[in-house]
């Protein structure tokens, strides 16, 4: 299997240099029990520290089981080198938000309206790490025209550009605890890069719930980036955790592929084809918010 050539300057040096340019002091250390290098960054605005664990492509396979171990101090993010190289602008936006540095737009200054799939696609491809996804119900938050002259609106060319979008699924019947629930999914939510729409997620959820009256709403948090604090704050409960997901990384394009789709079968070979490297995320946390009495479950994750 071909091993990627180490970056020059190194992955850690690139990230540390960017943090320095953004005004943040970080120090490099190994947080046991993890063997991966971690940049610990002070968060003067948000308080505490951000532990940024860096997974470089040339050497990560030396300790593959270590991907599941989280650093033991502060909040943390697990960042892969290919994500940094291919989606640096979005990564930097999300990291600055975690450090408490983003332009804040109150959701009360926005109006919510339906958007098309092409509008959702264009926004998510630019502002969401996982890109776009098909959604049945799609909303956009748009800054009211009278606020376009404000300082926080400098990144918006017009009132027709959304500052946040959300995509939801259609309802389907899910059996939980012997009861049928009319269940929907929050598929995607994203804000404009380098901006936080304060209350934006809640505004989209409330609009959807009022219009479609689901019994519950489920969604997923990427464990590389989040423990789902924003979902918990909005009344979501942890339902379960999905296992780490395998991808095959094309070493020429640095694009991640689902192995099953690449080989056209559910039976995935243990070794990827030449030119590909196996990489993983840490899986997802599944959250559910109930709008009717929840089912009684003895195996619920706390």
Domain spans of the chain, in order of start: 1-101, 105-242+283-290
Average pLDDT, integer, range 244-267: 87
Q: What is the mean pLDDT of the chain?
A: 88
Percentage of the chain beyond pLDDT 70 is: 88
CATH architecture of 105-242+283-290: 3-Layer(aba) Sandwich (3.40)
pTM, whole model, 2 decimals? 0.90
Contact 18, 24 (CB under 8 A): no
The predicted structure's pLDDT at residue 284: 94
Tens-place pLDDT, residues 29-74 = 765 556 688 899 988 877 888 989 999 988 777 666 666 665 544 5
Give the Cα separation of 24 and 190 in Å (integer).
25
User: Looking at the predicted structure, is the pLDDT value of residue 203 above 50?
Assistant: yes
Q: The tokens of 245 are what?
A: 């997901």
Q: Which residues pair with 182 in a beta bridge?
A: 173
pLDDT value at residue 124:
98
pLDDT tens sequence across 72-131 = 445 889 999 999 999 999 999 999 999 999 999 999 999 999 999 999 999 999 999 999
Cα dihedral 103, 106, 110, 114 sign: positive
- d(CA 276, CA 172) in angstroms, rounded, equals 37
């Amino acid at each position: 299997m071909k091993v990627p050539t180490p970056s020059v300057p190194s992955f850690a040096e690139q990230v540390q240099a960017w943090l320095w340019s953004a005004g943040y002091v970080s120090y490099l250390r190994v947080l046991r029990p993890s063997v991966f290098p971690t940049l610990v960054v002070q968060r003067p605005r948000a308080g505490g520290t951000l532990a940024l664990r860096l997974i470089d492509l040339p050497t990560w396979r030396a300790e593959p089981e270590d991907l599941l171990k989280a650093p033991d101090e502060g909040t943390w993010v697990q960042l892969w080198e290919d994500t940094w190289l291919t989606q640096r602008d979005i990564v930097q936006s999300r990291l600055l938000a975690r450090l408490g540095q983003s332009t804040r737009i109150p959701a009360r200054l926005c109006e919510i309206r339906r958007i098309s799939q092409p509008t959702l696609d264009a926004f998510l491809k630019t502002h969401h790490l996982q890109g776009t996804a098909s959604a049945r119900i799609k909303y956009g938050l748009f800054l009211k025209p009278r606020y376009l002259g404000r300082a926080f609106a400098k990144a918006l060319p017009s009132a027709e550009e959304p500052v946040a979008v959300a995509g939801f699924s259609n309802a389907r019947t899910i059996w939980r605890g012997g009861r049928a629930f009319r269940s929907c999914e929050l598929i995607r939510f994203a804000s404009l890069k380098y901006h936080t729409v304060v209350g934006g997620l809640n505004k989209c959820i409330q609009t959807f719930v009022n219009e479609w009256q689901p019994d519950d709403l489920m969604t997923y948090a990427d464990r590389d980036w989040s423990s789902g604090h924003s979902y918990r704050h909005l009344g979501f409960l942890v339902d379960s955790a999905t296992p780490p997901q395998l991808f095959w990384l094309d070493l020429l394009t640095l694009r991640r592929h689902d192995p099953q789709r690449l080989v056209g079968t559910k039976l995935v070979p243990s070794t990827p084809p030449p030119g590909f490297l196996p990489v993983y995320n840490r899986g997802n946390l599944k959250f559910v918010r109930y709008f009717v009495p929840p089912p009684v479950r003895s195996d619920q994750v706390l």
